[in-house]
Chains A and B, each alone.
Chain A
Amino acid sequence: MLEHLDALYGYAMTLTRDKTEAEDLVQETYLRAVRAANQPAPEENLRAWLFVIMRNTWLNVMRHKQHGVQIFDDGTTETAVSDINTNPHVVYLRKLERELVHEAIASLPVRHREIIVLRDIEGFSYHEIATVLNCPAGTVMSRLGRARGKLRDALSARQKVHRRFG
């Protein structure tokens, strides 16, 4: 189960946008998973199952909160993801592009950013996403289409600003 830690932490950050809350959510997810009696046998289902547990745990937390989802706070410092390219300028450009994409994703409403993360970052199939989000595959497709449209706009706006002032 430990091999899914980074993916689960990424999803937790997508949902909470807060480092402390995300870490709590990850630990709660693992606690629930190891206590669950109905652990899936096949390895391919384990990842989606863990994501389902995380999402349900988060929804429960949100239901108990009076103030709803926290306002976007990007002040968290993240562990840098290594880049195999050693050319400093190429590394810089890739890092910049990645940051712009991350910023654009983070600017989306939670229902859009989570579906982008599940499909385009974690590579879940429509069927797996439908399982995690507990919705029909048709809804996955339409929501993903809207989310990508918003992301395209958000990314393009950031790229324009960067070209002008960067």
Chain B
Amino acid sequence: MTNCENTRERLTLYLDNELQGDERALVEAHVETCDSCASFVEKELTFLNTVRKSGPLHAASPELKAKVSEILSSSQEPVVRESSRRMRWMLPVAAALLVLLLPVVVWRIVRQNDHPENGVPSAFALKAAESHLKHIRGQLPLEVTSSEPEEISEWFENKVNFHVKLPSYQETSGQEILYTLEGGRLVNFQNDYAAYVSYHMKDRPISLVITSELLAQPSGGEEIASKGLMFHFNAIDGLKVITWSDRGLTYALVSDLEERGHQSCIVCHQGTKDQDFIEPLKRH
């Protein structure tokens, strides 16, 4: 903490109570010995206190309070009464339906076990599909744009709690250029940030979402092992979602490629020299 330029950003975090433990102690120790930073903190605190003490900006009128109270009370009581009234005739109907549908339910469960591709997608696979759709709709604009894997990987440094190293697979394998890297951004997953990376294959968007294996474990869907990894293939909202874990990270790849399940892997990796990755997929 010798450079005051670097410290200024930390001082703002400090004043906003965003630093804890050692980080906070480090900033406090620096401020005690640095007149320039101490003066900065004093000025900032004066300004922030002026703003903070000016609140609250507005107070709701008694009329509004009465209306909101009515919304809150009317939403609770009738719903309970309504549901209990409904329950009286719903119970025998539900029991009758259960008896009628039981053979179908059992058949579905047995069938699902026989065909794991019908399994429920993991929360991470669903999140990846949602992010892909939002990005296509323009609701998730990229925060960094580049076609260089190293540049995007570098951008994620210190933004996510894991190390992102995007593959420069295409460039090093000697295969023809089939897809293009577009850029990346952060997305929320399990109260933390996941890395979202966007690719294009001709005019078709492909999304790669990466998080820590501690937060997401691939599950459900059609399972195929290749090169020591287990890939899970799901169809979500017409999209193909492939999830897998490797070296502490969990990945989800989303595309609208028409090829079924694992065949969609081959689309990007065709012509690759990495035949030991592709061959097991082709056998399925």
Contacts and interface: CB of A to CB of B under 8 A. Distances in A.
A164 interface: no
B50 A6 contact: no
B67 interface: yes
Contacts of B186: 136, 138
Nearest to A130: B188
Interface string B64-95: 11011101100110000000000000000000
Contacts of B48: 120
Contact of B57 (A34, A117, A137): A117
A35 interface: yes
Interface residues of B, number: 35
B60 A5 contact: yes
B16 A119 contact: yes
A116 B64 contact: no
B52 interface: yes
A2 B69 contact: yes
B47 interface: yes
B64 A23 contact: yes
A153 to B, nearest CB: 11
A26 B185 CA distance: 32
Nearest to A159: B50
A34 B71 contact: yes
Q: Could you say which interface size class chain A belongs to?
A: 35 or more
Nearest to A136: B186
Interface string A26-57: 11001100110000000000000000000000
B179 interface: no
Interface in A49-107: 78-79, 81, 97-98, 101-102, 105
Contacts of A35: 75
A9 B64 contact: yes
A131 B188 contact: yes
B72 A34 contact: yes
Contacts of A141: 12-13
Contact of B51 (A1, A31, A101, A127): A101
Contacts of B12: 141, 145
B61 interface: yes
Interface in B126-171: 143, 159
Contacts of A110: none
A128 B79 CA distance: 31
B72 A1 contact: yes
B27 to A, nearest CB: 15
Contact of A101 (B54, B59, B71, B159): B54
Nearest to B159: A138
A13 B65 contact: no
Contacts of B71: 27, 30-31, 34
A10 B57 contact: yes
B24 to A, nearest CB: 14
Contacts of A9: 58-60, 64
A79 B69 contact: no
Contacts of A120: 48, 51-52, 55
22 contacts: A1-B72, A5-B60, A6-B56, A6-B59, A10-B59, A14-B57, A23-B60, A27-B67, A30-B72, A34-B72, A34-B75, A78-B59, A79-B60, A79-B61, A105-B57, A120-B55, A126-B16, A130-B188, A131-B188, A136-B186, A136-B193, A137-B193
Given A26-B68, A138-B186, 15 more contacts: A6-B59, A7-B56, A9-B58, A9-B64, A23-B64, A23-B67, A26-B64, A30-B68, A121-B57, A122-B55, A136-B185, A136-B186, A137-B193, A139-B143, A148-B47
